[in-house]
Amino acid sequence: MNTENPPQPIKQEPITPKQLYLTRRKFLESVGIFSVSAFLAACMGNPPSSPSTPLAPADDMETRKDLALSYNNYYEFGTSKSSVAERAESFQMQPWQVEVGGLVKHPQTFSMEELLANFVQEERIYRMRCVEAWSMVLPWMGFPLAKLLEMAQPLPEAKFVAFQSVYRPEEMPGQVGLDFPWPYLEGLRLDEAQHPLTLLATGLYKEPLTPQNGGPIRLVVPWKYGFKSAKALVKITLQADQPVTFWNAIAPQEYGFYANVNPAVDHPRWSQSEERRIGEIGSRATLLFNGYDEVTPLYEGMDLKVNF
Ligand code: MTE
């Protein structure tokens, strides 16, 4: 993966502190923003008025929308971050289906409409740290992956979850021009996938996900490097073995399966101790697990330098 210069500094709204996201949820629920109908109304260009969300002091500010929608990693559309949005403009997100299968009691294929109707959509403001040492703070809409897995009912042999992004070379020039093992694949251990922070995102900035940000549905795993958060998902498979993953297959010494954000484990070609927050001047310290300390028990007893 490359690094490029970020766009210029700006001022934004404060992040929902991680401890408070449930409080925020309750608040939003009280103003009706969690109902599917409210979200669909937002999709139709008639959003509910923005609540004055209760926020605690924090030094994380939401990344400006125009920056988040124009500075993208999405190799299916090439390697230039600033060209992804334009190249993905006519990507067809309708109709869309996500197949959930493998070692589950109830394999099922969901249409996008069913996913929006069956799972309560909520807002989660998360830090996103790319392995290339830049970061953003993004207000996702979506639902916990755990809810979908609950519905599918993993069998006892299921230990991992594999994610597959769409393969559509006729619409995705990178799948033709870049000699990579398409489609883009990712994976999590089952307990990571079931963690309440792990999200299937369907929206961003209170609007449906744009193609360049992974629409219509993508994974978001906020304590891991951004490449774990696969875009444009079409398949979710429960399995006994650790899944093959895209970047790990290309460069295993550089991109591990776990890919937990960790300032103490450098990338072989650059330091991971600091990051550039897109829209800010200077750099800030990178936090273990991107600051999401609640995931620490998932890795108890593991050597994070070996399982990087
Ligand atoms: N998913 C797919 N299918 N293809 C990609 O190239 N890039 C990853 C991740 N998901 C990628 C992907 C990387 S490296 C990052 S940092 C994030 O998407 C970027 O997400 P964003 O463009 O919404 O900020």
Long-range contacts: 22-30, Cβ < 8 Å, 24+? 23/54, 24/53, 24/54, 24/123, 24/125, 25/122, 25/123, 27/51, 27/53, 27/54, 28/53, 28/122, 28/123
Q: Looking at the predicted structure, is the pLDDT value of residue 262 above 50?
A: yes
pLDDT of residue 58: 65
Determine the distance separating the centroid of ligand 1 and the alpha carbon of 52, expressed in angstroms. Answer: 31
Q: Which of 229, 245, 254, 290 to mutate to test the pocket of ligand 1 (most atoms within 8 A of CB)?
A: 229
Q: Is residue 121 very low, low, confident or very high in pLDDT (cuts 50, 70, 90)?
A: very high
pLDDT of residue 131: 98
pLDDT of residue 2: 55
Determine the distance separating the centroid of ligand 1 and the alpha carbon of 228, expressed in angstroms. Answer: 8
Single-letter residue type at 209? L
From the CA of 166, give the closest atom in ligand 1: 3
Mean pLDDT over the full length of the chain: 87
Label the pairing between strands 134-144 and 274-277. parallel
Q: Would you give the DSSP letter of residue 30?
A: H
Residue 66: which H helix or E strand, with range? helix 65-68
What 3-state DSSP class applies to 152? Answer: helix
What would the pLDDT profile of 205-254 be if each residue is shown by its tens digit? 999 999 999 999 999 999 999 999 999 999 999 999 999 999 999 999 99
pTM for the model stands at 0.85
Determine the distance separating the centroid of ligand 1 and the alpha carbon of 232, expressed in angstroms. Answer: 10
What would the pLDDT profile of 131-161 be if each residue is shown by its tens digit? 999 999 999 999 999 999 999 999 999 999 9
Buried b (16+ CB within 10 A) or exposed e, 124-152: bbbbbbbbbbbbbbbbbbbbbbbebbeeb
Our answer on whether the CB atom of 135 is closer than 6 Å to any ligand 1 atom is no
What would the pLDDT profile of 267-290 be if each residue is shown by its tens digit? 999 999 999 999 999 999 999 999
User: What is the residue extent of each domain of the chain?
Assistant: 18-299
How wide is the angle at C-alpha 116 spanned by C-alphas 110 and 119, nearest 5°?
90
pLDDT of residue 7: 39
CATH topology of domain 18-299: Sulfite Oxidase; Chain A, domain 2 (3.90.420)
In this structure, the chain runs to a length of: 308
Tokens 């009912």 belong to which residue?
153
